Amino acid sequence: MGKVTGFLEIERQDRKYTPAADRVRHYNEFVIPLSEEAVKSQAARCMNCGIPFCHNGCPVNNQIPDWNDLVYLGDWEEAARNLHSTNNFPEFTGRVCPAPCEASCTLNIEDTPVTIKTIECAIVDKAWEQGWVKPESYREKTGKKVAVIGAGPAGLAAAQQLARAGHSVHVFEKNSRAGGLLRYGIPDFKMEKHLIDRRITQMEAEGVTFHYGAHIGVTQDAQQLVDSFDAVILSGGSEKPRDLPIAGRELAGIHFAMEFLPQQNRRNGKEPPQDNRPILANGKHVVVIGGGDTGSDCIGTSVRQGAVSVTQLEVMPMPPEKENKLLTWPNWPLKLRTSSSHMEGAERDFSVLTKSFSGENGEVKTLHCVKVDAAMKEIPGSEFDLKADLVLLAMGFVHPIHDGMLKSLNVKLDGRGNVEANVRNYKSSLPKIFSAGDMRRGQSLVVWAIREGRQAAHAVDEYLMGESILPR
């Protein structure tokens, strides 16, 4: 678990960003990695804390103290093997996961957690550089065929595990490339897409077959596909955005975040546009409604496109800058979080309710807002207007798209509109059909998607073979 007295001797040091004035000129990643020696020093800070709460904080249950110790001792290859034993794609989580493991770290009691996310990213990046990441298999071919519908992180994790277990795996993706929100939602400046591409190459070498432009239930009959496979995993994500049905919503210039972000990602990836109406922020006053990560991504993209101003509105009260450790630790705390995009010139306002939109010539020009108290009641006399040429709705997602595949299969949904399946066997209400990821659990983190994909793969393997060699 690192150096016995490391946390007493070594200060926390994390990765830094290149200056905002430089990074807003491009869409490349801008995090400056630590040197190898600095990473080893940070790994040495992992204390012998008795109960490693980081295990529970991490949804995939990474064996964090183990690979911290291996990095401290200089055994990077074994650290990479250990890391991959619980996480198929640590280069994704090492970049875009919010790191609930660090919130659970015992050293976080005094706000100096081990830099777990940075160490994880350093391990996997080194593994790729050294050629340690190779195609793998666990057993000979079984003759069983599995279809995975949706090539986001849940579908990719499930497909990789099942292919390694010897099954013939076919992944069906409606877009022209794999990755789901990792490719089309998360901006390139947070995670460059060549990281996805090299994993797809590895998976193809492991026997996974990808079918792109295959929109099951729309361009391809869903039941016919189900009938031709021994098992099917539904991992299409949670794509129905939460709307804001107020006066003026029909005005031009008001878009969902996931209409805006994928366009720029496709430009960066030199993909043909899916829409002939480009949504661009250059020269505009942009208002982002929604205070989460998607809203932050809209900010960073808008700044890079040349927005005149960017304002982010959140209906909830401003969280405290520091959490009360005695009440929250080791759980994920509610506190004010400032992303790299916020540092690039955005204004934030909390406790703001947008009442209506108004505009000229059919285009949005103004938001009419009011302040609300902690009970979401309007505060009299607090009304104000906000100039806007582009409004981006980033208020989350409510459930998967029901039309198309889910409707044609008539699969049972839970009370929130997600595919009903439990976390023991991931079985849906229909024979041989399973579900995992956001389509089952609702909008969540990439690390939860990877966990569910791995566990669903175990359940499918057990269903097909009577027992499973795959880890849960």
User: Do 29 and 116 share a structural domain?
Assistant: yes
pLDDT on residue 185: 97
pTM (2 d.p.): 0.96
Question: Tell me, what's the pLDDT at 48?
Answer: 83
Determine, yes or no, domain membership for 53.
yes
Domain match, 124 and 228 both: no
Residue 353 CA from chain centroid, whole number: 27
Return all residues near 47 (Cβ < 8 A) that are at least 6 apart: 1, 2, 4, 6, 7, 106, 107
CA distance 347 to 318: 13
Could you tell me if residue 48 is inside a domain? yes
Q: Which of 360, 395, 430 is the last residue of a domain?
A: 395
User: Across all residues in the chain, what is the average pLDDT?
Assistant: 97
Note whether 255 and 321 are same-domain residues: yes
Give the per-residue pLDDT at 4.
86
| Domain assignment present for 94 | yes
Instruction: Note whether residue 387 is domain-resident.
Output: yes
Neighbours of 397 (CB within 10 A): 21
Which residue, of 129, 161, 180, is where some domain finishes? 129
Give the number of other Cβ atoms within 10 Å of residue 184's Cβ.
21
Residue 315 domain-assigned? yes
Structural domain tally of the chain?
3
Q: Indicate whether 188 and 325 sit together in one domain.
A: no
Same domain, 247 and 369: yes
Same domain, 214 and 355: no
Beta strands in 28-116 (DSSP E): 31-32
pLDDT digit string (tens) for 360-393?
A: 999 999 999 999 999 999 999 999 999 999 999 9
Q: Are residues 53 and 183 in the same domain?
A: no
Return the pLDDT at 47. Answer: 87
Helix, strand, or coil (residue 383): coil
Reported as a pLDDT band with limits 50, 70 and 90, residue 274 is confident
- 386 with 403, same domain: the answer is no
Band of pLDDT at residue 352, cut at 50, 70 and 90: very high
Q: In the structure, what pLDDT confidence band is assigned to residue 327 with cuts at 50, 70 and 90? A: very high
pLDDT at 229: 98
pLDDT for res 50 = 86
pLDDT of residue 377: 97
> Quick check: is 470 in a domain?
no
| pLDDT, tens digit (0-9, with 9 covering 90-100), for 238-272 | 999 999 999 999 999 999 999 999 999 999 999 99
Give me the mean pLDDT over the 73-81 stretch. 98
Regarding whether 419 and 390 lie in a shared domain, the answer is no
Is the residue at 411 inside a domain? yes
pLDDT computed for residue 188 by the predictor: 98
What digits encode the pLDDT tens for the residues 441-452?
999 999 999 999
pLDDT of residue 171: 98
Residue 170: alpha-carbon gap to chain centroid: 23
**Helix (H), strand (E) at residue 313:** strand 309-314
For residues 99 and 170, membership in a common domain is answered with: no
1 pLDDT exceeds 80? no
Residue with token string 């109406």: 277
CATH of the domain at 95: 1.10.1060.10
Question: What CATH number is given to the structural domain containing 194?
Answer: 3.50.50.60
Nearest CA among 386, 195, 201, 358 for reference residue 285: 386
Q: What is the DSSP string of 158-178?
A: HHHHHHHTT-EEEEEESSSSS
- pLDDT tens for 101-148 read 999 999 999 999 999 999 999 999 999 999 999 999 999 999 999 999
Give the span between the Cα atoms of 465 and 106, in whole angstroms: 41
Which pLDDT score is estimated for 3? 86
> Are 66 and 432 a contacting pair, CB within 8 Å?
no
**Is the same domain home to 284 and 363?**
yes
Are 323 and 187 in the same domain? no
Last residue of a domain, one of 129, 161, 183: 129
* 216 in a structural domain: yes
The predicted structure's pLDDT at residue 472? 80
Spatial CA neighbour of 173 closest among 163, 185, 181: 181
Q: How confident is the model at residue 2 (pLDDT cuts 50, 70, 90)?
A: confident
pLDDT in tens, 299-313: 999 999 999 999 999
The domain of 211 spans 145-239+398-465
